[in-house]
Chains A and B, each alone.
Chain A
Amino acid sequence: MFSRSVLRSLTSDLRLSAPTSVSSVNAISQRACLHQTAWLRTTQQQSEPQSSSPIPEAPLSATSQTPLQNTISQSRNAIPLEKQPVAPTFTSPIEVSKSLMEQLPHLVGQTPHYVVAELHARPYLLTEGDHIRLPFLMPKVKTGDILRFNRASALGSRDFTLKGAPHIDERLFECRVRVIGVESEPLRIKEKTKRRQRHVKQAKSKHRYTIMRVMDVRVKSPEELLEEGAVVVEDAEDSPQIEARS
């Protein structure tokens, strides 16, 4: 369904060494008013001068360009190995039909692009910068994670549409989204009654939803595909590319 490409990565691990605003809370008992918690931190720092730089070793961006494998293993210690999503392994290089190769520059040359990404068999029409509120809480993601949607049924620009049969090969395009938080709906109360009974049961529900932001929607150019080792195959008796309309 989706593959996690970039994760919290090294940032969280390196930040472990960095002091934050609260580090020693055992002082609470003697000091009551703590309107500046930073004060506490400095007292602790004086006692054990640990790091020369008081700043977490964070890269400028959350999208660090670290290798994929070790980030997954580092940040996912809590999740058992068999439940971790596996990176897609492709046994054969992508096969692209000749007509697709011919039409692809037209699609690439026309911006902007949209993608109909599918998530749990539901389509989402996305462009760059869109705000998504998934109708469910996505498990095992954290705020700030970057996901890559790899299942799309269509990708297009104004005049051209790349259609999959039924899904586009995920090596043809890139669609990245960032998890920006979790929202919940207002509390709903439904009154449940039974016959001949004065008791009214109140069923409450307050669902939580994952919010995301589309970072980019990009279709790869023919040169990029050939660089990645795409194989161009002849398409035999395909119907003409411009579909006949009524």
Chain B
Amino acid sequence: MPVQGLRTVTSARNGVGAFILQCKRLDFHYCNHGGSSRGMLAFLTQTLPEFARENPQIEVRVAPRHGKHPVIKGQYINGREKAICVRNMEPGEILKKAMILKDASGEKLKRTKKPVTSLNESVRGIWSPYHGDLRGV
């Protein structure tokens, strides 16, 4: 056997070819009686149909939760969930929160210092003291 192949798996680069929105599902929870849900009820009747129409990639669920504050929960492709409580908010503010959940990647929030992360090898290689302008002495 002169050479053998090693089996690996290609790693995904979302957005290079196809772009897949990471938000998979949005759950809107509301209460029919609570005063904190008033804005949410208005949002559900007025704004949500248009929001859902603009974002067909997201599965939208609306479910009541009796006696609780209204909540938007986002399910992400990586299996995580993000929830935002929208008590006493106006429909406009709720839409903003929904947009936050829609744009999020689902990853845990982290502080990073470097702006660019790359899977590729360095184009010009890693500096080594043995290369470059070599001169025998």
User: Chain A interface (Cβ within 8 Å of chain B)?
Assistant: 12, 15-16, 18-26, 28-29, 32-35, 37, 56, 61-62, 112-114, 124-135, 143-144, 156-158, 178, 180-186, 211-215, 245
User: Are B105 and A183 in touch, CB under 8 angstroms?
Assistant: yes
Contact A129 B64 (CB under 8 A): no
- Having A25-B44, A124-B115, A183-B107, one finds 11 other A-B pairs with CB under 8 Å, namely A19-B53, A21-B56, A22-B48, A112-B120, A130-B119, A131-B116, A135-B115, A156-B123, A181-B22, A182-B103, A215-B16
Within the complex, what minimum Cβ distance (angstroms) separates A54 from chain B?
A: 11
Are B103's CB and A143's CB within 8 A?
A: yes
List, in ascending order, chain B residues with CB within 8 A of A215's CB: 15-16
Q: Is the CB of A180 within 8 A of B14?
A: yes
The residue on B at minimum CB distance from A178 is: B15
The size of the chain B interface, using a CB distance under 8 A, is 46
In the complex, A152→B48 CA distance in Å? 42
- How many angstroms from the CA of A158 to the CA of B123 in the assembled complex? 6
List CB contacts (< 8 Å) of B47-81 with chain A.
Answer: 48-49, 52-56, 58-64
Give the distance to chain B from A243, nearest Cβ to Cβ, in Å. Answer: 12
CA distance A61 to B118 in the complex (A): 24
Chain A residues within an 8 Å CB radius of B110: 185-186
- Chain A residue at minimum C-beta to C-beta distance from B123: A114
Are the CB atoms of B53 and A20 closer together than 8 Å?
Answer: yes
A16–B16 alpha-carbon span in the complex (Å): 27
Task: Tell me if B16 and A128 are in contact (CB < 8 A).
Answer: yes
Cβ of A186 to closest chain B Cβ, rounded Å:
4
Q: What's the least CB distance linking B11 to chain A, in Å?
A: 10
A178:B19 contact, CB within 8 angstroms: yes
Cα distance A212–B116 in the bound complex, in angstroms: 9
Q: Please state if A129 and B13 are interface contacts (CB–CB under 8 Å).
A: yes
- With A and B bound together, what is the CA distance between A133 and B112 in angstroms? 9
Nearest A-chain residue to B50, judged by Cβ: A16
Residues of A within 8 A of B56 (CB): 15, 18, 20-21, 56
Tell whether, in the assembled complex, residue A61 and residue B18 are in contact, meaning their CB atoms are under 8 Å apart. yes
Q: Which residues of B contact A61 (CB under 8 A)?
A: 18
The smallest beta-carbon distance between A163 and chain B, in angstroms, is: 14
Q: Cα distance A213–B103 when bound, in Å?
A: 14
Contact between B63 and A35, CB atoms less than 8 A apart: yes
| Given A22-B48, A186-B109, A129:B63 Cβ within 8 A | no
What are 24 A-B pairs with beta-carbon distances under 8 A? A22-B48, A23-B52, A24-B49, A25-B48, A25-B49, A26-B45, A28-B41, A32-B32, A33-B63, A33-B64, A34-B61, A37-B62, A114-B123, A130-B119, A131-B117, A133-B117, A143-B103, A158-B125, A178-B16, A178-B19, A182-B100, A185-B110, A211-B105, A215-B16
**Nearest 8 pairs between A and B by C-beta?**
A213-B15, A182-B103, A178-B15, A114-B123, A20-B52, A186-B109, A130-B118, A180-B15
Whether the Cβ atoms of A156 and B124 lie closer than 8 Å is yes
